Every structure is written in structure tokens, then in C-alpha cells.
Structure 1
Amino acid sequence: MNEIGAEVDGDIPEDQLNRAIEELRGALHEEDKRPQEKAKPERPASNAAVIMNIPVEVQTVLGSADMQVSELMALQKGSTVALNRRIGEPVDVVVNGRRIARGEITVLENDPSRFGIKLTEIITAAKPA
């Protein structure tokens, strides 16, 4: 038996076998020093499918108004708040707080009691609304 407890074939000189064992130990020691590559977790077949199912909040901003607190406190049922946009001007479409498009208000064909937005411009570099 050699120094690691394995039986040795009589054809190989023991000193050569011991050198080979030491080289192997050195190689294994060097292998241990290398940073181990962590196994990457398996990814779903399609990340796009996961992303497409994330809910987002879509808002249409018809306009805004600046007013003093006293004017705000004076509002009551039936009061009118004048917005900073005029009839026919485009409205902003905002997703999760970022303006992504502009459009015009339209009445839905299949339900005239509701309205929607017909997109007229897609904003490529989304900017905060």
C-alpha cells in the first residue's frame, strides 16, 4: 500500500507513484483555490411571459389646476375646477408615474356611455408626468 492507503501495482516504482500522488494533490489544492463558479438557477423558458403578466397602473391625465388652499376648501358639490387644458388638446397617458403617450379622448363605439383614449403619439424616452 502507498501513503494514501491504495494498493500499488508492483510494476510502478513507489517513488514515481508518490510523485504522481503529490502532483495530483497539488493540482487539487490549486483547484480548491480557484473561485467556484456558482450554478446559475434555471430560468423559465420565457422571461417575456413573466414580464408580460406584471400589472401596471395606466392613468389618463386630462389636466391639472393650481389653486390656493382656501379655494380648495371652498369647493362643494356642483363646483367646477378649470383645468390647464382646452377641449381638443391631447391628454397624457401615464404608466406607473411615467408619461408614455399622448392621445385624444374618444367615445367607445361599442359602449357610447364610456370614453377612451385614441393614442396619437408614443413617447420614446418616457419622462415623469
Structure 2
Amino acid sequence: MMSNVQTNADSMMDDISMLDMGELFGEDKTEKPAGALGMDMFRDVPLTVTLEVSSTEVTLGELSGAEAGDVLPLDKPIGEPLDVKVNGVLFAKAEVVMVNGKYGLKFVSTQNSPTRHA
């Protein structure tokens, strides 16, 4: 099942145009002197990006008593942006969108930018 999820995620990335990560991280677009280090040397470093919908705290007893059809309420209100984490660290707030019939993320704000309003 996990390989199917990975395949779907890979194909989604083919359909969605990627953000210029240099812009997202505030990289200076001006020409750098030869040998200067920039974001280019890090472009192939793999990162784990996670979308955290919400969470809640329950006891082991409550969780062990859960059955199919039970609902576990979460702590995030409907309509609030979701947390995008990179390697477990909060990177941005985002909304889930549909792109060509697949899920995508629309960044609302990043840790190094103010919140954008639609």
C-alpha cells in the first residue's frame, strides 16, 4: 500500500509545477562570484515533506476501545491552514487544493514570509 501512495505522490509531482525553492528560501538572484556557495549545491538533497492535518491527545484506554465507524475529534478548526513540516520542522502553512484531479498544497505562508491573504 505504501508503494502505491509513493507512486501517486510521484505522479502528482509530475503534474504540479514546482515552486522555485531558491525564491522560497529568499535566495539572491544576482550573479555570484565564481566559487560562491548558493542553494544550487543543495538542490538534490532529499527532504521529507509532511502535511499535518491536526492532532489530539487520548488515553491508551480510549484508543484501544476504538472501533470501525467511531469518530475521533481533532483539535484544529475547519478552514484553518494546515502545517507543512520538512524533516519534522514547521516550514509553512498551507491549504489543500485539487490540481488535475489530484491533491496539491497551496502555501498560505512560510516561516520566512508573512501570511498571504487571498
Query: What TM-score range do you get, normalising by the shorter chain?
Result: 0.5 to 0.7
| Counterpart for residue 62 of structure 2 | 71
Structure 1 residues 49 and 124 mapped into 2: Cα distance closer, same or farther (>3 Å)? Answer: closer
| Counterpart for residue 104 of structure 2 | 116
> What is the root-mean-square deviation of aligned Cα atoms in Å?
2.3
| Counterpart for residue 99 of structure 1 | 90
Runs of 4+ in 1 over 6 A off after TM superposition: 44-47
| Counterpart for residue 61 of structure 1 | 52
Read off the aligned partner of 1:94 and give its amino acid letter.
K
Q: Aligned-pair distance for 1:95?
A: 0.1
What pairs up with 1:22-101 in 2 under 5 angstroms?
48-101=39-92
Structure 1 residues 98 and 45 mapped into 2: Cα distance closer, same or farther (>3 Å)? Answer: same
Q: How many residues align?
A: 79
Gaps of 5+ in 2: 1-34, 114-118
Using structure 2 for the length normalisation, give the TM-score: 0.58
Read off the aligned partner of 1:115 and give its amino acid letter.
Y
Q: Which has the higher contact order (CA 8 A, sep 6+)?
A: 2
Using structure 1 for the length normalisation, give the TM-score: 0.53
Identity %: 28
- Give per-residue Cα distances to partners, 1:91-118, cap 9 Å, x unaligned: 000000110100112222x11xx32221
C-alpha separation between the residues in 2 aligned to 1:107 and 1:48? 29
Q: Aligned-pair distance for 1:50?
A: 3.8
